[in-house]
Amino acid sequence: MDARRNPFAPGAGTRPPELAGREDLIEASAVALDRIRAGRAARSTILYGLRGVGKTVLLSAIRDAAEAEGMAVVAIEAPENRSLPGILVPALRAALLRLDRVKQASAGVKRALSALAGFAKLKVKYDDLEVALDFASEPGLADSGDLEADLADLIVAVGEAARERGTAVVLAIDELQYVPEEQLAALISALHRANQRQLPITLVGAGLPQLLGQMGRAKSYAERLFAFVPVGPLDAAAAGDALRLPIEREGEAIDDAAIAAIVAETEGYPYFLQEWGKHSWDTAEASPITAEDVALATRTALAELDASFFRVRFDRLTPAEKRYLRAMATLGPGPHRSGDIADALGVKVSSVAPTRNTLIGKGMLYSPAHGDTAFTVPLFDAFMRRVLPD
């Protein structure tokens, strides 16, 4: 069918034509944000799930809803190899200056900017921290040089500024699993302090499943401070909506059998639904899209994934890491016992532990329970078997 009108949007963080199956999550987070702005108790939200499951678009939807409600959103993505102070400072500064535009000369915002100036002295420790210092620091405010103490001062000052302005500040941080553990600990403890004072500042974070363990290790009370929300594949009804509604809006149709075939191939994973929807549309000669069209589209979709989505991840691996993942793939989708993987490789668990650790660090693997190992990329096991056949 006409590729120009193809509604599907496979990508990273690309808004889907239909954000299916997430209504409850969006509503729950809107309730939490409203409570926080009103100075009532509510937990910060952490969205966690595998690659391509829709965390970033969900975070964007929550962010947009908060902005529409007049809250101040500080949106950042934690890239690999950057420090939290380095990414937080410029974003917070911009948000504070925006807060100040609403009404000039706010004492709370001025104080928060002074806290930021004090905090920025941490650049002696975090060399990626760069900020225009257009505000004088206040002696004793966020300037001790200790990250945990200074971040708490800063977050509290920002929360007080938000309260003075009658709004809430929402820190929206994507890829939170890349924040090193001691910096994560400082962030959690700062939010804890603001939470105890019922200040209207909160975190909506998103990341891979290893984030749960990282946060729990960083601060044991993290589980009480945050609502950990699993973001998983869509169930059959939501996956059907994600496919059918965009097609129908273009005045075209898709068979039930075709939808069932796509749901089976993709296991309901949002990114793959977009890819299969796109390829099925392009493959079909005419509406309605049928199961035969999907069978053909599966070949082109897989070929394209193997050349891009899966491939870029594969190309970042060392030979030892590839062997480890290939051994896991032999055992199936997982999770697998680390001992079973070592057995499949014919080595001792301890000798491959470093490889497993670097794979976790690269965001390829996570440990759903002690001694278990699983892929963070859905359907990666089948890819490993295709790319490295026996």
Ligand X SMILES: Nc1ncnc2c1ncn2[C@@H]1O[C@H](COP(=O)(O)OP(=O)(O)OP(=O)(O)O)[C@@H](O)[C@H]1O
**b/e 155-189 (16+ beta carbons within 10 angstroms → b):** bbbbbbbbbbbebbbbbbbbbbbbbeeebbbbbbb
Residue 284: its H or E element: none
**274 or 298: whose CB is closer to ligand X?**
274
Q: CA-CA distance, 100 to 265, in Å (whole number)?
A: 51
Nearest to 269 by CA among 299, 243, 234: 234
Interaction of residue 274 with Mg ion, rule CB under 5 A = no
As given in the structure block, the two tokens for residue 49 are 């799930």
Nearest by Cα to 341 from 297, 293, 381: 381
Could you say which of 37, 55, 279, 356 contacts ligand X (CB under 6 A)? 55
Identity of the residue numbered 233:
P
Give the binding range for Mg ion (CB under 5 A) out of 56-64, 183-191, 281-289, 358-366: 56-64
Among 1, 6, 7, 19, binds ligand X (CB under 6 A): 19
How many chain residues interact with ligand X (CB under 6 A)?
A: 25
The candidate with the shortest Cα–Cα distance to 257, out of 245, 272, 243, is: 243
Cβ at position 42, least distance to ligand X in Å = 24
Q: How far apart are CA 43 and CA 62, in angstroms?
A: 15
Work out which of 54, 85, 86, 233 binds ligand X, going by CB under 6 A: 54
- The angle, 0 to 180 degrees and rounded to 10, between the axes of the packed helices 380-387 and 291-307 is 70
- Distance of alpha carbon 225 from alpha carbon 14, whole angstroms: 30
30 or 149: whose CB is closer to ligand X?
30
Binding mask 24-43 for Mg ion (x = CB under 5 A): --------------------
Which ranges constitute the DSSP H helices of 332-377? 338-345, 349-361
| Residue closest to ligand X (Cβ) | 54
Q: How far is the CB of 239 from ligand X (least distance, A)?
A: 8
Size of the site for Mg ion (CB under 5 A): 1
Question: Which one, 76 or 112, has the nearer CB to Mg ion?
Answer: 76
Query: Least CB distance from residue 277 to ligand X, whole Å?
Result: 9
Q: Which of 44, 56, 60, 183 binds Mg ion (CB under 5 A)?
A: 56
Please give the distance of CA 170 from its chain centroid, rounded to a whole number: 15
Instruction: Kindly state the smallest distance separating residue 241's Cβ from ligand X, in Å.
Output: 8
**3-state SS, residue 335:** coil
Residue 280 in the binding site for Mg ion (CB under 5 A): no
Binding residue for ligand X, selected from 254, 273, 359, 374, defined by CB under 6 A = 273
Rule CB under 6 A: say whether 378 interacts with ligand X: no
- Residues at the interface with ligand X (CB under 6 A): 9-14, 16, 18-22, 49, 51-57, 242, 270-271, 273-274
